[in-house]
Structure 1
Amino acid sequence: MSLSFNLLNQAMLTQVLHELHLGNLQRCKALGLGEDDIDLLQSLPPTTLSRLAHASVPWVEVRIDSPVLRRLIEQADRDEQNQRLINRALKLGASSTIMYKCFGLAHSETAMRRRLLRIESRKGRPHQLSETQEHALWQRWCQLRTQDGTDDQLDAMMLLAEEQQISLAVVWQQINHYSSGK
């Protein structure tokens, strides 16, 4: 057990001495040191600092702030879900306009993500649907919107793109076209 205390003591002392060297006194205070402690540590000779670092008695206390830990985990989960959603949209053929409107991604960021996902960009206008495909798409859209009960239109559009096996950009274009009254 003394080894873990020893490592913790060493890590904290190294961090504190580094912050003192940089003149970050507020950071030292945030680590739990008072002004008297800071003055004392700055005046100690190297041999005393070494003994302090290798002390077998813990002088550093570690504790978990559960509410902060849980918030950080929840935020990390939301970020991960958002990244999966972005990747899904790109794989379904979302345009740069969609990526900007839904996720705030600039064209260059969207292009870089496409390259990382190895998605080939299509040249020219998106594929046009037949009248039958347009009608089927709109009917399914109306059905999804009444079933869903949420305002997540992008998720419904991605589901349509998957079901109909067409580009998300085409779905987006058609839904906006029909929603605005042609």
Structure 2
Amino acid sequence: MGTTFNLLNHAMLNQVLHELRHGRVQRCRALGLGDEDIEVLQSLPPTTLSHLAHSNISWVEVKVDITVLRRLISQAERDEQNERLINRALKLGASSSIMYRCFGLDHSETALRRRVLKIETHRGRPVQLSEAQEHAVWQRWCQLRDDDQHFDPLDAMMMLAEEQHISLTLVWQQIDLYGGAPC
């Protein structure tokens, strides 16, 4: 356990001296040092600083702020879920306008993400739905909208694209045509 404390002492002293060298006294205060402590540390000779850094007695206390940690974990989980949603939408053929409207991604960011995910874009005239497909999409959309009390329009559209084996853009266009698309 002594080695761990030596490492903490050493790391803290290096950080404080680094901050002082760059004139960031506020950072030293944020680490828990008072003005008097800062003055003393600045005036100590290298041998004394070395003794402090390698002391067997820990003068550094590590404490976890569980509230902040939990918030960070929740935010990281939300970010990860959003990334999965973005990737799913792209893989289902979401257009740049859908990506902008739902996720705030501009055209260049959408294009970059497509390249990273190795999603090929099709050039030329877009595919159109047959009348039977249009009817099937709209019927299923109405069913999803009416059956689910926790209805998420984008998620429902992605599910429709997966079920019908058509692009999310075509589903979006069909729903927008009759009832307004989400986001």
- Give your verdict on TM over 0.5: yes
CA distance in 1 between counterparts of 2:78 and 2:14 reads 35
Matched, 1:83 2:64: no
Q: Which amino acid aligns with 1:46?
A: P
- The secondary structure found in structure 1 opposite 2:119 is coil
TM-score (norm 2): 0.96
Q: Number of aligned residue pairs: give it.
A: 180
Tell me if 1:168 matches 2:172: no
Moved more, 76-85 or 116-125: 116-125
How far apart are 1:151 and its partner, in Å? Answer: 4.6
Partner of residue 50, structure 2: 50
Alpha-carbon separation, structure 2, partners of 1:96 and 1:151: 24
Percent identity reads 71
Q: Within 2, Cα distance between the matches of 1:124 and 1:179?
A: 27
- In the alignment, what sits opposite 1:92? 92
The residue that corresponds to 1:111 in the other structure is: 111
Separation in 2, partners of 1:126, 1:89: 18
Counterparts of 1:70 and 1:113, CA distance in 2: 29
Per the alignment, residue 148 of structure 1 pairs with: 148
Question: TM-score normalized by structure 1?
Answer: 0.97
User: 1:31 maps to which residue?
Assistant: 31
Instruction: Please say if residues 126 and 170 of structure 1, whose CA atoms lie closer than 8 Å, have aligned partners that are also in contact.
Output: no
Measure how far apart 1:78 and its partner are: 0.2
Extract unaligned runs of 5+ from structure 2. none
Instruction: Read off the aligned partner of 1:58 and give its amino acid letter.
Output: S
Please give the alpha-carbon distance, in whole angstroms, between the structure 1 residues aligned to 2:51 and 2:129: 77
SS at match of 1:28: helix
Contact 1:126 1:169 in 2 (8 A): no
CA-to-aligned-CA distance 1:34-67 (integer Å, 9 cap, x gap) = 1111111000011100000000000000011111
Structure 1: stretches of 5+ with no match in the other structure? none
In structure 2, C-alpha distance between the alignment counterparts of 1:25 and 1:178, rounded to whole Å: 62
Runs of 4+ more than 6 Å apart = none
Report the CA distance shift for 1:66/1:155 in structure 2 as closer, same or farther (over 3 A).
same
The CA RMSD over aligned residues, in Å, is 0.9
CA drift of 1:126 comes to 2.5
1:124 shift after superposition: 2.6
Q: What letter matches 1:114 in structure 2?
A: R
1:141 positional shift: 0.2
Q: Deviations over 1:99-150 (max 9, x none)?
A: 0000000100000000000000111343101111100100000000112223
